[in-house]
Amino acid sequence: MRPLTEEETQAVFKKLAEYTGASLKNIIAPQEDGDRNVFRLSQNRVYLVRLSMANLATSIARDNLLSLGTCLGKFTKSGKFRIHITALPILAEHARHKLWIRPNGVMPFLYGGNVVKAHVGRYSEDCPEHQGLVVYTMDDVPLGFGVSARSTAESRRLDPTGVVCFRQADCGEYLRDEDTLFQSG
């Protein structure tokens, strides 16, 4: 595992800022015990790790270290950063825009579908178009995240089958992609 380069750090921060906004600084801010979170790269995957744990991991050979901390996502071969579903707990805690779906929309979303207006229970005010948002059940359980298809004002005028949120990742991926989710490469 190695620290991220300047370009890699900018790509990760830019992608995380789409979902967290100004609360991005809370992810890397020092904690009460004086420790802080850092980003580490291993086999094109970016991990969020406590600094004390990352320092301890330096004594383990790179070939023997499979994972450490929370996997936020990975860099594609073209150099773009893609967030994985494993980052959902961090995104949900710091999300700027949120979308709650009704019970009848949970299964279509978990099977990989986009969120349509008929399934929306409520959503954050003033959410612009093409902004990252976290999708919750009506009981405040985070299910995944996506990108808003329309702004909040435009979404209210849509017909019931109009897409409100394009799915990026959902908890159903743990089952659908279990063979490839944690593979390297």
Residues 82 and 103 in one domain: no
Residues 167 and 144 in one domain: yes
Residues 11 and 74 in one domain: yes
Is the pLDDT confidence value at 156 over 60? yes
Convert the pLDDT of each residue in 70-98 to its tens digit.
999 999 999 899 999 999 999 999 999 99
For residues 140-167, give the mean pLDDT. Answer: 92
User: Could you tell me which residues come within 8 angstroms of residue 95 by beta carbon, excluding any fewer than 6 positions away?
Assistant: 19, 20, 133, 134, 145
Give the CATH number, domain containing residue 21: 3.10.450.220
Residues 123 and 77 in one domain: no
Domain end position, chosen among 53, 87, 121 = 87
Residues 39 and 79 in one domain: yes
DSSP letters along the chain, please?
A: -EEPPHHHHHHHHHHHHHHHGGGHHHHHS--TTS--EEEEEETTEEEEEEHHHHHHHTTS-TTT----SEEEEEE-TTS-EEE-GGGHHHHHHH-SSEEEE-HHHHHHHHTTPPEEGGGEEEE-TTPPTT-EEEEEETTS-EEEEEEESS-HHHHHTS-TTSEEEEEEEETTHHHHTTTTTT---
Would you state the pLDDT for residue 64? 81
Within a domain: residue 181? Answer: no
Residues 126 and 162 in one domain: yes
Would you state the pLDDT for residue 175? 77
Is the pLDDT confidence value at 38 over 70? yes
Would you state the pLDDT for residue 182? 63
Give the CATH number, domain containing residue 162: 2.30.130.10
Within a domain: residue 102? Answer: yes
Domain end position, chosen among 52, 87, 122 = 87
Is the pLDDT confidence value at 60 over 60? yes
Residues 118 and 157 in one domain: yes
Domain end position, chosen among 87, 122, 151 = 87
Q: How many domains does the chain have?
A: 2
**Antiparallel, parallel or unpaired: β 132-137 and 98-101:** parallel
Residues 47 and 115 in one domain: no
Residue range(s) defining the domain that contains residue 114: 97-175
Residues 69 and 47 in one domain: yes
Mean pLDDT value across the chain: 89
Would you state the pLDDT for residue 91? 92
Tell me the pLDDT band of 132, cut-offs 50, 70 and 90: very high
